[in-house]
A and B are shown apart, each in its own frame.
Chain A
Amino acid sequence: MVFSSVDFLFLFLPLFLLAQNLLPWRNLTFVLFSLLFYFVGEGWYTGVIVVSTLANYGFGLAIGTAQETGRRRLLLAAGVAFNLGLLVVFKYTGFLAQSLLGVGADSWLLRIHLPLGISFFTFHAISYLVDIHRRDAKAERSLVNLSLYMLMFPQLIAGPILRFHTVARQLRRRVVDARHLYYGVVLFCFGLAQKVLLADTLAAVADPLFARSETLSAQTAWLATLCYTLQIYFDFGGYSNMALGLGWICGFHFPRNFNYPYVARSLTEFWRRWHMSLSRWFRDYLYLPLGGNREGAAKTYRNLLIVFLLCGLWHGAAWTFVLWGAWHGLLLVAERLGLGRVLARLPRLVQHGYALLAVMLGWVLFRSADLSEAGRMLARLFGAGNVTDMAAWDVLTGEQAFVLGAAALLALPLLPALLSRWVAMPLMAGEWLRTGTRATSEQTDDASFENRAATRRAWAQPLPRHRYALGLLLAFALFLLSLLKIMTGAYSPFIYFRF
């Protein structure tokens, strides 16, 4: 079940909202609905996530109560090994068997089912255990609360990835008032529109073009890459916004996951703006434990490469993802080696061009089914093969051309900045801090990308009512437009679903 399906929007979500608002034992209700959400999509494989939750509950208590450092470390190692073991068995067995043992395509090892969201809940579990080990958080004594952290349906299958210490307090106590509901509804509708109106429409351009990569001209190959570049942003970004919105409705303040990544001027900046919850997870639980940038340049570069190779592998069990990770890792190292300094002396437009080109070429690796398709597509991008194809403009319908233009515009922070003058925008600078709850470190991370002065201004001034009314009107209009596509069963792939 995905958030943009009729069964979620018109059955699961309203029933959940009624239960959440009318029944007692709200965390338990939330957990049961989350289990149902998972069970609907995965059936008996729900057992995997249940076992994972129970095991991590046990590991957490054991680590939390252990006094000796050695024993704590041993228990942590066992817990992490258990979680990574689950991930390897379900996600990487086929890939490893094919790559290392050369098993045939008909082997049962290649048919092992990949449970939904296993990459996400595994990272949640590791975060939980490490945070307890580091004493950043206490072991959760309530199985219901831990289950909620692991299973919470808004972020269960596609994130954002929550580090345990940032939500531990909210698991125990949180508040929902009308303004939280407003933020939640508006964010959800914005995310829904990004996913359904933008990403799905662009997918209908990109998918057929990638499917016939051997017949593309340079022009249509660039169109395919551009459409996919925007599709993946609005697909995942939209889904993240829906998750954030659902979080607000339930009293959780998840960290923002995207911050206009395509305005970055380097890959280093791109990774501060793209899938920020994943970047933070890798930073806190892999890059820093490896030594980060504290042990000299060579080890910093090594650490970066390790992190990005694993980041690529986390996205999927295929060499295209490994290559994608390596591409990003190598460019990040190159930027540290001096490319960054060279870029800084160039005009801003060139810097933007470099970052966008690097990201788009990376997406070709990411999108391609295998290395040969990736190679073919990259060759087409640079005119190899001298193929004659239809003009890029002829590929697009009126709707697709309009959406491509709109998506390109909305990938920039121009329109939201303009809208925030009239509309109470949930994602405007500092809105996270306007909730009346103490800012978590993740929220502070967010704010670090934004104008802190603007944050303080926004916090100090209550917004006039008409700005909330306009926000609701806008959200309602976007919801209705999205419904036109959702109800008619228009093409709707979801890229991050199987990660």
Chain B
Amino acid sequence: MLHISRRARLLACLMALALLVPVAGLRLHTTRQLEHFHNRTLNAWPADRAFLRDPATWFREARAWLADRIYPIRGIAQWRRRLLLHVLHTPPQSNIALGDDGFVFLTGVDESTRYGIIEGTCINAHTAEAGVALRRALLQLAQYSDRSGIAVDVIVLPTLLTMYPERLPRSIPQAYRDACAARARGESPLLDVIAPAGLHYSFPYRELRAARDDPAFFPQADWHATGLSVKIARDSYLRQFGLAPPPTEHLTRIDKPSEILVMQGMISLRPAWQVDSDTVQPDAAGNDAFRAAVADLAPSPRFITYGWKNSAPLRAENVLMVSDSYGQFTAPLYTAAFSRMVQITANDFKNTSIPLLVQRTRETHGVDRLILLVHDGGIYRIFGWASALQRSAEMPGNPTW
């Protein structure tokens, strides 16, 4: 027999009710908010019929469902990250590294692949095999360009990891730091690749490296290259056409929040350069038409596209930029050379969808030039896209070409 005093019973019940708040508050945030917070699709509630077959698994899935939605997970995560960063000088996630002098590096896509990005960027992208694969891809793209009549350019942009490897903290395993440092010393087959005739290839590593002493250049706590670094990369690309930088651009020194820390919900201002153009403007109508044309090819309805138009182009061409997320930040600057540009972040697209995507865009927008743009760790995407484009061009009776 258990005897519970009245006071103890009251206190225990109050405590129980307080403990139920995180479950009772599940509906206080939306699926969209939670998916944005977790950066993934939420765990689904398990199927009822699976219960009898394996209750333990069913409960495990139900618990994962609950853990994704517990209230107030977003606020709590925010507080924890602040505590880690500001009090304990600890990265808010294990796939982020805090370097010297305010540098912040993204080292992995998520916490399960802590060094996945470093491995891809500093090692895998710069092997001799990657060099061979890139040469092969450029040949394939040249063939595609020849048959389709669309000019093709390949642009590879360096990342903070290879621009400032000496700033990586010593907590990053030595092998990774050595690999990134080797890239900084110019040990990369990507640097010496010569593009076949009719195709432009740009990996402006040396040009960017020469400008890296400016603390606002990349910027130093962002994943994506923006501002001055993109301008230098773009100017290097334009030189291949014999073009000078557009005279209608202005550089302004600003302080902007660290992109990587903003993803963690924290504002930490860092110096950066902002590039404004008098002639390049968003092209909402063009973007809408582009999205409508390619929506069925996208693996998710939330695929990312942008449209830009330029009132004073250096070359009167319509451009399609197929890229990883770097394209979102670089497209407006590259548009300064052309009449119009639509950009699509195609990370999750099947390689086999890319030819169709080009074909649809050509029909709706009239594509004169295709730019494939990735950061160096994403060079493998170029291989896949090039192979798919070449195969499509070789198909007999291809309606496009």
Q: Give the B-binding residues of A (Cβ under 8 A).
A: 1, 5-7, 9-11, 13-15, 17-18, 20-22, 26-27, 39-45, 172-178, 180-181, 185, 204, 249-251, 389-391, 394-400, 402, 483-485, 487-490
Q: How far is the CA of A391 from the CA of B174 in the complex (A)?
A: 10
Instruction: Please determine whether B8 and A180 come into contact, CB atoms closer than 8 angstroms.
Output: yes
Q: Are A178 and B7 in contact (CB under 8 A)?
A: yes
A21–B90 CB distance below 8 A: no
Minimum CB–CB distance from A7 to chain B (whole Å) comes to: 5
Contacts of A18 on B, CB cut-off 8 Å? 13, 16-17
In the complex, whether B76 has a CB less than 8 A from a CB of chain A is: yes
B308 CB, min distance to chain A CBs, angstroms? 38
Q: Evaluate contact between B15 and A176: CB separation under 8 angstroms.
A: no
Contact of A5 with B80 in the complex, beta carbons under 8 Å: no
Chain B residues with CB below 8 A from A22, complex form = 9, 13
Inter-subunit contact A21/B3 (CB<8 Å)? no
Q: In the complex, what residues of A have CB within 8 A of residue B20's CB?
A: 10-11, 14-15
A9 touching B19 by the CB < 8 A rule?
Answer: yes
Do the beta carbons of B13 and A10 come within 8 Å of each other? no
What would be 30 A-B contacts, judged by CB atoms less than 8 Å apart? A1-B59, A5-B67, A6-B70, A7-B66, A14-B19, A15-B20, A17-B16, A18-B13, A18-B16, A20-B2, A20-B12, A21-B12, A21-B16, A22-B13, A40-B59, A40-B63, A173-B1, A173-B3, A176-B2, A177-B4, A251-B4, A394-B169, A394-B171, A395-B171, A398-B89, A402-B88, A484-B80, A487-B22, A487-B77, A490-B80
B22 touches A391 (CB 8 A): no
Contact mask B158-186 → A, CB, 8 Å, 1/0?
00000000000111011000000000000
Least CB distance from A87 to B in Å reads 20
Q: Is the CB of B170 within 8 A of A390?
A: yes
B132 at interface, CB cutoff 8 A: no
Contact present for B1 and A172 (CB under 8 Å) = yes
Do A181 and B3 have beta carbons less than 8 Å apart? no
**Residue in chain B with minimal CB distance to A39:** B55
* Residue B300 CB within 8 A of the other chain: no
Given A17-B13, A181-B12, A488-B76: A10 in contact with B56 (beta carbons within 8 A): no
B54 within 8 Å of A by Cβ? yes
CB atoms of B4 and A1 under 8 A apart: no
Q: How far is the CA of A168 from the CA of B73 in the complex (A)?
A: 42
- A175 touching B3 by the CB < 8 A rule? yes
A470 to B9, CA, bound (A): 22
CB–CB A41/B7 < 8 A: no
- Cβ-defined contact, B67 with A6, below 8 A: yes
A10 touches B23 (CB 8 A): yes
Tell me the smallest distance from the CB of B287 to a CB of chain A, in Å.
36
Asked if B267 is at the interface (CB within 8 A of a chain A CB), the reply is no
Smallest CB-CB separation from B80: which chain A residue? Answer: A484
**B40-63 toward A: CB 8 Å interface, digit per residue (1/0)?**
000000000000001111110001
Beyond A10-B22, A14-B17, whether A43 also contacts B54 by CB under 8 A is yes
Contact B2 A43 (CB under 8 A): no
Given contacts A42-B56, A175-B3, A489-B67, contact A181 B11 (CB under 8 A): yes
Q: Contact at B55–A43, with CB atoms within 8 Å? A: yes
CB distance from B21 to the nearest CB of A (A): 8
Interface residues of B in 234-271 (CB under 8 A from A): none
Question: Which residues of B are found within 8 Å of A173, using beta-carbon distances?
Answer: 1-3
B94 to A: closest C-beta gap in Å:
8
Once bound together, how far apart are the Cα atoms of A18 and B12, in whole Å?
8
Q: Within the complex, which residue of A43, A177, A402 is in contact with B8, where a contact is CB–CB below 8 Å?
A: A177
Query: Contacts A7-B63, A397-B90, A484-B76: A40 and B56 contacting too (C-beta < 8 A)?
Result: yes
Apart from the given pairs A13-B19, A396-B171, A399-B90, 5 other A-B contacts in the complex at a CB distance below 8 Å: A27-B1, A27-B2, A390-B173, A397-B88, A490-B80
In the bound complex, CA of A484 to CA of B90 (Å): 15
Contact of A5 among B11, B16, B63, B94 (CB under 8 A): B63
Specify which chain A residues have a CB less than 8 angstroms from the CB of B1 in the assembled complex: 26-27, 172-174
CA distance A104 to B67 in the complex (A): 39
Within the complex, the shortest CB–CB distance from B42 to chain A, in Å, comes to 13
The answer to whether A11 and B80 touch across the interface, beta carbons within 8 angstroms, is: no
Contact A43 B170 (CB under 8 A): no
Q: Given A17-B16, A18-B16, A43-B55, check contact A487 B171 (CB 8 Å).
A: no
Q: Type the 1/0 row for B187-220, where 1 means its CB is closer than 8 Å to any CB of A.
A: 0000000000000000000000000000000000
- The contact of A177 among B5, B16, B88, B170, by CB within 8 Å, is B5
B286 / chain A contacts, CB cutoff of 8 Å: none
Tell me the minimal C-beta distance from A214 to chain B in angstroms. 13
Q: Do B56 and A249 touch (CB < 8 A)?
A: no
Q: Is B329 an interface residue (CB 8 A)?
A: no
Select one of B2, B15, B76, B77 contacting A250, CB under 8 A. Answer: B2
B401 in the interface, Cβ–Cβ < 8 Å?
Answer: no
Q: Are A398 and B63 in contact (CB under 8 A)?
A: no
A55 to chain B, nearest CB (A): 23
- Residues from chain A with Cβ under 8 Å of B12 in the complex: 17, 20-21, 176, 181, 249
Q: Do B16 and A14 touch across chains, with their CB atoms under 8 A apart?
A: yes
| Contact between chains at A6 and B66 (CB < 8 Å) | yes
Establish whether residues B70 and A487, one from each chain, have CB atoms under 8 Å apart when the complex forms.
yes
Cβ of A176 to closest chain B Cβ, rounded Å: 5
State the Cβ distance, A416 to closest chain B Cβ, in Å: 24
Residues of B within 8 A of A251 (CB): 2-4
Structural contact, A26 and B2, CB atoms closer than 8 A: yes
Contact status of A394 and B59, CB under 8 A, knowing A10-B70, A177-B5, A484-B79? no
By beta carbon, the residue of chain B nearest A403 is B88
Among A250, A399, A487, A489, the one with the most B-chain Cβ atoms within 10 Å of its Cβ is: A487
Q: Chain B contacts of A26 at CB under 8 A?
A: 1-2
Whether A399 contacts B76 by the Cβ 8 Å rule is no
